[in-house]
Chains A and B, each alone.
Chain A
Amino acid sequence: MKPPVFDYLTPSSLTEAAQVINETPGAMIIAGGQSLIPALNFKLAWPSALIDIRNIPDLDTIQINDNEIIVGAGVRHCDVEKDQRIGKRHPIMHKAMAYVAHSPIRNRGTVVGSICHADAAAEMPLILVLTDGYVTATSVDGSRTIAARDFFKFHMTTSRHDNEIIQTAHFPIPNSTGGYSFQEFARRSGDYAIAAIACLMTLDKSGKIEEIKIAGCGISQRPIRLSNVEQLVIGTTLTENDVSQAIEALAESVTSPDDIHATNKYRKYLAGKLLSKSLIEAKERAQGGNHHENG
C-alpha cells in the first residue's frame, strides 16, 4: 500500500495557497494528514497535488474570546487537548478530544482536518454541530462562513467548494452554568465511534430543562443535531418516562445502515443507552454546578 503519484506544493501564505488550489484542479489540502494519508495508502484518494499548509504562518493558533474558541487549520488535536483554557471554558470539547484516536495520531492530526474529512462517526464534527459552530472558508473569490449544520453533507462529504481552504473552525462556548455529557462507544479505545451522543443542558430554578442541545455521530450519514429529542425533553424534569420517550424519538434518527461494525438495530439500542446516560449525567452536572470541573 503506497500513495499514488502527486505533486507536492508548499505555499507560504494563505493568499498563495488560495491561488494554488484555484489553479490546480484535483488538488487536496494536507495539514496533519492523519485521515488523508491512510486514504492515499489505500489509493482511495488520488489527488493531482497535495497542498501542504505547514508553512503558512498563524494557522496554528487557538484564539479564545468571550463567545467562542477559534481553532486554526494548523492546530493539532494535541494542542487542543493540552490547552487548559479549553478544559475550563469548553469542557465537552476537552472531554470529546480524549476519544479522538490515539495520542500518536492526536500529535499530528488537526481539528480542522478532521472536520474537513467529515467522517460521520468523528468527534470534532459532532462537537461543532452540537454547539452550532461554523467554519470560515477562504478562496480567490473571498471568504465566507459556513454553519456546521450546512457544512456536513454526508459521510466524508462537505459543502466546501473545490477551490476553498477551511481556515478556521469556530466552537461557541457553552453556558457556564449548564451541564454537559459526552458518551461514546467504540470496540477499541481510540477507534471511530460506533455511536456517540453529546449533550449540553441548563436547568431552571424548579429543576426543569430550560435549554438543551443534543447531537449524535455514528448514527447517521453525518453528525446530526437531535432536535426532535431536544423538543421532547425541554421543560421536563427528566423522569424515567421522559427518558424512555426520548430514546423512542431518537430511534427514528438512527439511520446508519448495517455495516461490519454494527447493525442498524444494534446502533438504535446503543444510541438509546448512550442518550440515557448522557441526559442523566448532563442533568447531574447542571444540578451540581460543576460544569467547570474537568470531566
Chain B
Amino acid sequence: MKTVKKLAPSKSVDPTRIISLTVNGETVEREVSVRMLLSDFIRHELGLTGTHVGCEHGICGACTIMMNGESSRSCTILAVQSDGMDLRTIESVAEKDGSLHPIQQAFQDNHALQCGYCTPGMIMNIMSEFESNSKIDTSEESIRELLSGNLCRCTGYANIVEAVRDAAERMGKN
C-alpha cells in the first residue's frame, strides 16, 4: 500500500498588516508581511532603489533614510514599524528638475564619491544633522564623528569630510 508522506504545515504564509505612511511627500498604503524590512519595502515595494543595502545589520549605514526628520537605518526597522511615519529617501533630495541639493553638489565638486554605493546613506545622515542644527561643528574630528556610522571603502573619507565642510558653508551652517 502506498503511504502518503504527511507534510509539515507550511509557514510560508506570513502574517501581514496594512500600513499607511508618507514617503517623499506622497501617501502610501500597502499590505506588507510583518517581517519585511523597511529597506526591502522601500526598494522592492516602492521601487525606490536609491536606498542601498550593504550589511543588513545596522553597521554600514548605506540604507540610512529619514523618519520623521531623524536619520534612521532602514535595514534594522520593520516596515510595520514605520506605520504612520513621514519618510524621506535620497530620491527626495534633488529638485524635480534634477538640480542637486547643496550637499549633493558639494559631494560632486569635492570628488567625495567613487563607486557611490555608500553615498545615499551618507547624504541622508548629513542632511538630518544639518536640518536639526542651525550650526554644524566643521572641525575634522566632529565631521568624522558624524560620518563614523557610514562606511565607505573607496575614498578614505578625506574628500567626504571636505564635502561636508563645503556643504555647511554653502548652507550657512558653519
Q: Which of A's residues lie within 8 Å of B, judged by CB?
A: 1-8, 30, 33-34, 37-38, 40-42, 50, 52, 54, 78, 101-105, 107-108, 188-190
Contact = CB atoms under 8 A, between A and B. Distances in A.
A108 B14 CA distance: 25
The 9 closest A-B pairs by CB, nearest first: A102-B149, A8-B34, A38-B57, A189-B148, A107-B70, A104-B71, A3-B35, A37-B76, A1-B56
A127 B71 CA distance: 26
Contacts of B125: 103-104
Main secondary structure of the interface of A (DSSP, over half): loop
Interface of B: 11-12, 14-15, 17, 34-35, 37, 40, 56-58, 61, 64, 67, 70-73, 75-78, 80-81, 125, 128-129, 144-146, 148-149
Contacts of A1: 56-57
Nearest to B125: A104
B64 A104 contact: yes
19 contacts: A1-B57, A2-B40, A3-B78, A4-B35, A5-B14, A5-B15, A8-B15, A33-B77, A34-B58, A41-B76, A50-B34, A104-B61, A104-B64, A104-B71, A104-B73, A105-B73, A108-B72, A189-B144, A189-B145
Contact of B78 (A4, A5, A33, A102): A33
Given A105-B58, A188-B148, A189-B148, A37 B78 contact: yes
Contacts of B81: 30, 33, 52, 54
A102 B14 contact: no
Contacts of B58: 34, 37-38, 105
B18 to A, nearest CB: 12
Contacts of A108: 67, 70, 72-73, 76-77
Contacts of A103: 71, 125, 128-129, 146, 149
A102 B72 contact: no
Contacts of A190: 148-149
A108 B72 CA distance: 7
Contact of B11 (A5, A30, A42, A104): A5
B153 to A, nearest CB: 14
Contacts of A2: 35, 37, 40
Contacts of B56: 1, 41
Contacts of A50: 34, 78
Given A3-B37, A5-B14, A104-B70, 17 more contacts: A2-B40, A5-B35, A8-B34, A30-B78, A30-B81, A37-B37, A37-B78, A41-B37, A42-B57, A52-B80, A78-B70, A103-B71, A105-B58, A107-B71, A108-B67, A108-B70, A190-B149
A169 B167 CA distance: 40
Given A41-B37, A41-B57, A41-B75, A7 B15 contact: yes
Nearest to A104: B71
B89 to A, nearest CB: 14
A137 B77 CA distance: 25
A9 to B, nearest CB: 9
B33 to A, nearest CB: 9
Nearest to B121: A104
Nearest to B129: A103
